[in-house]
Each structure stands twice: as structure tokens, then as C-alpha cells.
A and B are shown apart, each in its own frame.
Chain A
Amino acid sequence: MASEQKNGADGAAVLRDRYVVYPGKPLPDLASPNAEAFHAEDRRDAKKVLFALIVRPGILARTDSMRALKGSDSPGLMTLVEWGTMDWPPLQRKVMAVVYERPTGGRVMATMTSDFKAVDEADLVRKAINPLFAALRVLRSHNVTHRAIRPTNMFWATPEKDRVVLGDCTTIPPAYEQPLLVETIESGMCQPTGRGPGVYADDIYSLGASMALLLQGRNPAGHLDDDTILRRKILQGSVAVLIGEERLSLQTSEFLRGTLCDDPHERWTTESIELWLSGRRLSPLLAKFEKRAARGMPFNGKEYLTARELAIAFVRNWDAVPQLVLDGRLELWVRRSLDVKEKAEAIAAITRDAVMTVNEKRGAAFDIMVAKVCMVLDSRAPIRYKSLAAMPDGIGAMLGMAVAAGTEVRIIAESLMREIPKAYFQTRETYNPDNSMLDAIFRDLKLWLEKGSIGSGIERVVYEMNDAMPCLSPLTLDDYVLDIRDLLPALDAAAIKVGGKGWPVDRHVAAFIAARAKFDVERQLFDLSQPNSERSAMAMLNILAVLQWRLGQGGLQGLATWLGSLMKPVINTFHDREKRTALEKDIPRIARDGNLVELSRVLDSPEEKAVDSQGFQEARAQWAEARREVRDIEEGHANNRKAIHFAQRLAALVSMTICLVTFSLLLLARLF
């Protein structure tokens, strides 16, 4: 996605030469916590009422969703008109912008604690469920989950407030801004960045929760903190938390019970909603509660009656868990009090594995054991490892956001190195082919983490896991390089900014190329990681040259000059001083053409190197011979030795000649 935008008049930014975004005209009513909204106009159609959301730098946008939803028309969706990167004068850098058609009726609910005019139960289907369900169907047809369905992200499409539309879902990671109240129990257990795109059932739950709030005109759990909401959802069920004592019609109640069902397998699907909308009555779902133990499990000063609650307590008191597991109390409690023999067997097996580990690795083994025990106790819960709580498909965004923010990523990296996702997939009760694919991906990620060299390591993992992650190198950060086509121009611009200091390929740039390039650069990356400065410098040039050649981008004068100035060690690999001088003269000329391929060819020609090497070997032999001869002359050895040798040969020759002549003459005299 090449981004070539020019600033419009009055400091306005222009997206794709068509959509003008005015930084001086903010629209706070349409903004979301992580994306400011601004007035926007279409140059080709001034009548269109548009606004643009500007993704806050450091937030991982969902570009795949933008791509899928662009131009999608649905009564329940704000139409995404355009998206892309553009220069943004207030921040003096490029940002990701998403242009939407503007809803004109205002936000449905200002904040999660504010009251608003409730939607009448009789109007709920017409005003909200119908358009929003249509939106879900469109999303499903594009293979996208919304994961931002909540009343605070819904707008009245018209001033008459007769239709609700869903707000933006693309400027943040999935479910990042979702309050726990409208998220499923499992998603609510995750850290906000680690919830992952999830499945359509998650959107249906959020739809049901939002409808419950719309009917009441308030948040029934507004006074409760997240821990309390989660605990009540586990113990009482989501329906009780979201509806409470509210009196609803049987029909509406049926919808809410179906969509808010805590068991994802029994929760209503789009087909169920379709049937309900068409007037078919479905068998009512009864709330299912967690299985309670006959006797409580004492842990950390409290008694727990359900496995799910106990698993949550384990995560919060990680270091205290191994003792409880190792002395067999947990297994006994699960076997006898909770009466779930399969889980007890699984816990016994996990404990045996941990105990059999050698002493040096026992700390790690116990951490893995606790993570696995939590997975067994609550099989629907996300991956939990120390302070990490994320769905397998949410780890990528979580890592990306952490790296972009510069916060600690040790726990995430550790969980990948210790194959916690693999343990998660192994403890699933049913087979899911998606898990096998994810497992293979996590295996590759572990290899890159283990490798650790430039082009691998945590940076590679970030870019491999997040297609929407721009290159985070300080050299390219302001250019929001999402597409590999934008990398070389960004580095070319950076050459002027940094004044040729440092190397253009740092760990982020190398990892970005490795992850985004559709061609093999592993050999160059291997050379780049070598401590030998001339080899790594040449590898850096080769990587960028391959990129230029493959992408057919020219005119990189700044970058070529920068690289040329870093090639001194490479030039010095030539032994021939005349060749070095010639190269030093040639490089500025090639750099002026901005041709990295030519630069690479000149400096890394195998033929030239072979000629140089052969010439050097011959010169060394010549030098050694000449030096020996000079020394011999100086010390007088050469003359003596040579003279004696020559004289002896001469004497032998003279002697033999005399012999031959004498004998021949005497023989002739005898004969004739």
C-alpha cells in the first residue's frame, strides 16, 4: 500500500489525493478512546458527510478488517469509505486514518456509567437488533469479527434516532476497549490487548449484552468493579448480571438468554437469531452454573467451591500454587470434592511430569505445571502464565502493543519459549483444526526467539504475528511503514534526517524485511548477524539491493550515499590498492544514481574478488622470493651458493668435454 499524500490547504491532510481531513475540526462526539475523530470531505463529492478516525501512534490497527470492510454497505454499519496512511500535520508524522460516513444521530451511550434514554422493548428489534444483526451478517461474509460491540460504540444513524449503527472496530486490537460487562467470561479474563479476534459467538454475546443495556437505559453493573462482575458472571451467569430483576417480555428474554448464554457451544448463532427474528420460538435456554465442590478448597486464606474460581485465584497467587499441587491436595480435592476424575488424572500426570524434571529446570517446570493446571481446571479460560492472560490468537496483538509501547515483554517471550500455547492446545477437550495451525505457527515463533540474532528474535515474532504492525525502527517510525514497498523510500528519507550516522538496517528493519518479504533473504540475514564488519556491511547492502531489485524502486540517492559511506570495510577487503581507489571514486557516482543493485554488484562481484585474490597470492609469492633474494645478497649467501653451484656445474661440463674430445680424438687416431 503505497502512501502518497499531499497536504491540503489550511494544514489539512489528504488521504489518497481524495479525502481531506481537517485537524482543526475535531469531532469529539465521534472519537473513541484511542482514535480521535476529525471532519473530513470527499473532493469528488462534497455532499458526503464524512469523518476520519486517526489511529493513535503505538496502537495496533486492524488493517485486515479495514481491507475487508472498505465499501461494505449495511444498515447496521458505518460505511468505511477509505483507509490508509497519510501525513498528519499536528504530529508531524504519518498516521493511519480511516474515513467513515458520519452517523448523524449521536452516540447511543456516552460512557459505560452514564444513563440514556432506553429503547422501548417494542422498538428494539426494528431500531437495533435488525440493523445490528444485518451488520453481523456482513461482517461474517467478510470473515471479520467486530469485537467492539458495546452501547458506547453505537450511534444513531439519523437525527430521528430510528436506527442504530455499529461504530469503528478497526483502529484498535480486537476487543481492546471492550468493558468486561459486554465481553464473555473467557474474554473478560484476558488482558485487553490479548483478547484476540475471537469468533462470531463473541460478537453475538456482546450484541446480547448491548441490547440488555439499551433496554434498561443504564448499566446495571455500573457500580461494580471488573473482578466483581467476573465473579458474578461465573457464579450467577451473565443473564443475571446484565438483566437482573428487569421485567422483560418472553420474546426479548428468550433473545437475551440465547445470546448471553455463557456456554459458547449452546450460545445462539446467527442462524438462531435469524429464526428468532422470523418469529420461530426456540427452546428456552436454562442458565448453567459452574459445578460446585462438596467441600471448599482452602487456598491463600479463602475457600473456593468451583474450579474456575480456584484457577483465577491460582493466577493471582502464582508462587503459592506449586506446593498445593505437589503435595497432592489439589488432585484429591478435584477427585473427591469436585468429583471430576478425568481432571484429577490430568492434574496427576502434569504433576508427575514436573517432578521428573531435573533440578536446574525445576523452576520453569513448576511454572509450566501451574499454567497447565489452570488450563485443566478451567478449560475454556484463556492462556494464563504468570501475569499473562490471553487467547492464543491474541498473543500477537498483545506482544505487538507491548513492543510498540516499549513495555516489558519478558513474560510473553518466556511463555512462547516454554511452549505454553502448545500446552494449551494439548489440554483442549475437543479437536480444533485451527489449533493445529496455530500450534505450527507458535513452533516457528519459538525457533525465531531461540535464534535471537538480527532478523530473528522478538522483533521477528512481532512482525510475523501482526500483519498490521508498522516497522518500529526509529528510522522509519514517523513514516508508518506498513508495506514493504514503503520501506526503502522511508530509509531514503531517514538518510537525510540522521546524516548518515549508524546503519540503515537495525533489528527492526531486518525483522520487518524478513517477515514481509515474499522472497528468501535468510542467507543475507545470516551474513548480517556475523561479527565480521565487512561481511555484515555487505549483507546489509545486499538485503536492501535485493529489495530494490525485487520491488523495482529507483532514485534512492540518499540511501545509496548513506550505504556508500558505510562500505569502507567492504572496500578494504580488496587487496589491490588501485582497485580500492577506483571503487572509492566509483561509489559516489553510483550513489548519485540511487542504484543499490549496481553498488552491490560493484562491491560484491565474485569475478573481481577472484582476480584480486589470485593477484594477491601471486604478489605475495613474488614478494617473498624477492625479499629472500635481497636478504641473501645482503648477507652474501646468494652469491656464494649460486657461484659455487654454477662453478661446480661448469667444472663438470669442462671435465666431461675434455674427456669426450680426448677419447674421440684417440679413437679416431686408432681407427684411421
Chain B
Amino acid sequence: MAKGKKKEGTAKRSSGGPNRILVFLTLVALVPFSLPTLLVMFVGLLPAIVAAFVERGSNRYAWICIGGLNFAGLSPWLLSLWFGHHTLDFAFEQVTSVKMLLVAYGAAAVGSALYMGLPPVVNAFMMATSQHRAVGLQADLRKLEEKWGEAVKTPDERL
């Protein structure tokens, strides 16, 4: 069993590895054609990139949350680059702009606040409804026990 789990984990890691390498290679391939865009995006989306690398666990929503607003904050400068002068000089000019950094990073901070602030609100709401559900579940359990006897319980519950 343990062996199986170990193999499963190895497989997951190995499937994630090539994807990342592919993304990395694609970016490297784009460097000669859109180096200005990449420069702006790298500097502007730094909070999202950091969040993506730092976040652990199966439900990785933090980097999406931060990244979404981060990108929204950066998008006016990106569009300026694409629709203006798509040169490395202009890109340097943008990334050194305090305004752009404030807006992009500020938006990322809002995303982070959203990610951390929403769960307590939802939790409070669900707490209010769970007691009612527990009563319903207890009734279901009693019905199952009446129909199928003690054997329907899990062994540790029978004990």
C-alpha cells in the first residue's frame, strides 16, 4: 500500500516536471521576439510568480487570486507596450515607473486580501446552517441502523 502511494506521488511529480520545463522553454523561445513584454510581465507579475512558487497543497487558489488582480493592475501598461512602442527601451521605462509598480503590486495586494478575507465570512455563514444539517444526518443514521442493524456501523463505531 505504502509502495503504491509512493509510486503515485512519484508519478505526479514526474508529470508536473515536464509541464514546467515546457513552459520555461516556451518563454525562452519567445525571448528574441517579445523580450519587452516578458520584461514588463516578469517585473509586474512578480507577486503572482512568487505566490505560485511559494504556495503548497492540493488546492492552490492563492496564486490565481493574486495573479488575476495583479494582471488586471498591470494590463494598462502591457497594452501601452503592445499598442505603443514595443521596444526594450520603452519596457525599461515602464518597469522603472513607480506608478505602474504601485498599481500592479497594489492590485496584487488586494487579491491577497481577498484570498485571506473571504474564508472567515463564508465560514460564519456555513456555521449557521450546519447544526440543522447535523440533525438531519443523525436521523438518517438512525434509519440506516433500524433497517440494517448494528452491522451497518463501521467496526470502530460498533466497539
Chain B interface SS verdict (over half): helix
Say yes or no for A648: interface residue by CB 8 A criterion.
yes
How many interface residues does B have (CB within 8 Å)?
47
Instruction: Give the residues in chain B near A68, CB-CB below 8 Å.
Output: none
CB of B84 to closest CB in A, whole Å: 10
Task: Verify B122–A650 contact, CB threshold 8 A.
Answer: yes
CB of B59 to closest CB in A, whole Å: 6
Task: Verify A620–B152 contact, CB threshold 8 A.
Answer: yes
State which of A616, A626, A627, A648 has its C-beta within 8 Å of the C-beta of B119: A648
Say yes or no for A521: interface residue by CB 8 A criterion.
no
Report if A651-B118 is in contact (Cβ < 8 Å); known contacts: A623-B144, A623-B153, A642-B126. Answer: yes
Task: Verify B62–A648 contact, CB threshold 8 A.
Answer: yes
CB of A581 to closest CB in B, whole Å: 11
- Docked Cα-Cα span, A659 to B125, in Å, equals 27
Stretch at the interface among A192-200, A433-441, A661-669: A661-669
Say yes or no for B27: interface residue by CB 8 A criterion.
no
Q: Mark A643-665, 1 if CB is under 8 A from B, else 0.
A: 11111111110111111001100
Task: Verify B71–A647 contact, CB threshold 8 A.
Answer: no
Q: Mark A611-652, 1 if CB is under 8 A from B, else 0.
A: 000011001101110110110011000111011111111111
State which of A624, A629, A644, A657 has its C-beta within 8 Å of the C-beta of B154: A624
CB of A577 to closest CB in B, whole Å: 6
- Docked Cα-Cα span, A643 to B90, in Å, equals 45
Report if A577-B68 is in contact (Cβ < 8 Å); known contacts: A622-B140, A647-B122. Answer: no
Say yes or no for B76: interface residue by CB 8 A criterion.
yes
Say yes or no for B137: interface residue by CB 8 A criterion.
yes
Interface Cβ pair total, 8 Å cutoff: 137
Say yes or no for B50: interface residue by CB 8 A criterion.
no
Report if A644-B75 is in contact (Cβ < 8 Å); known contacts: A577-B149, A656-B64. Answer: no
Instruction: Give the residues in chain A near B68, CB-CB below 8 Å.
Output: 652, 655-659
Chain A interface SS verdict (over half): helix
Say yes or no for B69: interface residue by CB 8 A criterion.
yes
- Docked Cα-Cα span, A623 to B143, in Å, equals 10
Say yes or no for A575: interface residue by CB 8 A criterion.
yes
Report if A626-B148 is in contact (Cβ < 8 Å); known contacts: A644-B123, A659-B69. Answer: no
CB of A645 to closest CB in B, whole Å: 6
Report if A658-B69 is in contact (Cβ < 8 Å); known contacts: A630-B141, A648-B59, A650-B118. Answer: yes
State which of A615, A639, A651 has its C-beta within 8 Å of the C-beta of B130: A639
Nearest chain B residue, comparing its CB with the CB of A616: B148
Nearest chain A residue, comparing its CB with the CB of B68: A655
Say yes or no for A578: interface residue by CB 8 A criterion.
yes
Instruction: Give the residues in chain B near A642, CB-CB below 8 Å.
Output: 126
Say yes or no for A576: interface residue by CB 8 A criterion.
yes
Say yes or no for A670: interface residue by CB 8 A criterion.
yes
- Docked Cα-Cα span, A646 to B120, in Å, equals 11
Q: Which of B44-66 contact A (CB under 8 A)?
A: 59, 61-62, 64-66
- Docked Cα-Cα span, A622 to B142, in Å, equals 12
In addition to A640-B123, A648-B118, A670-B79, 10 A-B residue pairs with Cβ atoms within 8 Å of each other are A616-B151, A620-B154, A630-B134, A633-B130, A643-B125, A649-B59, A650-B122, A652-B65, A655-B68, A662-B75
29 sample A-B contacts, Cβ–Cβ < 8 Å, listed by A number: A575-B148, A619-B152, A620-B148, A622-B140, A622-B144, A623-B145, A623-B148, A624-B154, A627-B153, A627-B154, A633-B130, A633-B131, A633-B137, A638-B130, A643-B127, A646-B126, A647-B119, A647-B123, A650-B122, A654-B118, A655-B66, A655-B111, A658-B72, A659-B69, A659-B72, A662-B72, A663-B75, A666-B76, A670-B79
Interface pairs A-B: 3 shortest CB-CB: A655-B68, A643-B123, A647-B119
